[in-house]
Amino acid sequence: MLFPRFTLNTQQRCSFRKAAKETKTKKGVIEETGPSHTEPSEGLIHKRGASPPVHPSVAYTHPRSFGRLVKPLVFTIGFTACSFGTAAIWQYESLKSRVQSYFDEVRADWLEKLRPQKQGDLRKWINQWWNGLSEGQPPPPIFHYPLISHLSFILSFSTPLLSLSGIIAANAVVFCCWRVPSLQRSMIKYFTSNPASKTLCFPMLLSTFSHYSFFHMAANMYVLWSFSSSIVSMLGREQFMAVYVSAGVISTMFSYVCKTASGRLGPSLGASGAIMTVLAAVCTKMPEAKLAIIFLPMYAFSAGNALKAIVAMDTAGLVLGWRYFDHAAHLGGALFGIWYIMYGHELIWKNREPLVKVWHDLRTKGPGGGGNGGSGPL
């Protein structure tokens, strides 16, 4: 079950100018008695659980101008391109390192067999010491084979866990930063995405790792963990990370456009836009897979039907103006996930070879390179 990206929406006040008064806070409502044309006054906070405070020093602008979205659009395109380019180079370096390690081990074993044994050889001494142990004498813990086998078993599943643990750790650090009073202004400015804010680009990425409510973060991370093994198996660690961070920026851009068009300006935060891309990608790739809601495991349904229901709900929320969740970010993330599985993988990832070849040539011709510059990528 996906717990969506929350949105903190503003309500329009009357247009009369009044002197600014002190903010009065009620349970679930942040009320401005004196509206301003440079700061949005917060109405009912459409969010489950605790909500970020409104900092009066954070600047906002109200004009609904699509011209302000040109810079975020350029940032979205550039960031996505850099993400996939970095992932392609990362994969090349990982494969190169593994191949190099394999040949180093083969070469070491081959030299070990050719090298004549000496009486004082350390390996031979260890073998003699091992064979000399009495039957009841236990070996040191480092030689416990069950431990070595257990470590090998863990490492065989380390790729999805390492990718997911980095994302969860980043979300946890940002969640802790929300609890520091002195950081509130910076958190609202950079870790909430709002088309009315003067800071538009960096929050598109940073808000993807931002949660003010612990329940919000825990629910999103649980959904991500549930689909992490499938998506990493489908795409690989490097491609998954590129898709995930790009999805966060793309879903926020879609939210910017919809909020600007409708005039419902307000800050949003959460990883649900990126998680919707992961969910949509898995459901598109495996539409017949069976899913169930965590609290209702007796009701199972196909992944394809679940995706259709989620897209329909977010589309209805966007059209009807539901303001509890950022339905535009959810819908943008889902559409990106569907598009990437159907077309994006072929258009982007399978055409990475020219970039990898350029990187390979730079690596082999640079300091410490192998000198076989034109051999092509691994």
Query: Which positions are annotated as active-site residues?
Result: 272, 330
Paired with 197 in beta bridges are 60
Backbone dihedral angles phi then psi of residue 10, each to the nearest 5 degrees:
-105, 155
Q: Which helix (H) or strand (E) holds 30?
A: strand 29-31
Q: Are 282 and 298 in contact (CB under 8 A)?
A: no
Q: Are 195 and 65 in contact (CB under 8 A)?
A: no
Question: How far out from the chain centre does Cα 157 lie?
Answer: 19
Which CA distances in Å does 271 have to 59, 171, 274? Answer: 24, 9, 6
Which CA distances in Å does 209 have to 56, 203, 244? Answer: 23, 10, 11
Which 3-state string (H, E, C) describes 205-251? Answer: HHHHHCCCCHHHHHHHHHHHHHHHHHHHHHHCHHHHHHHHHHHHHHH
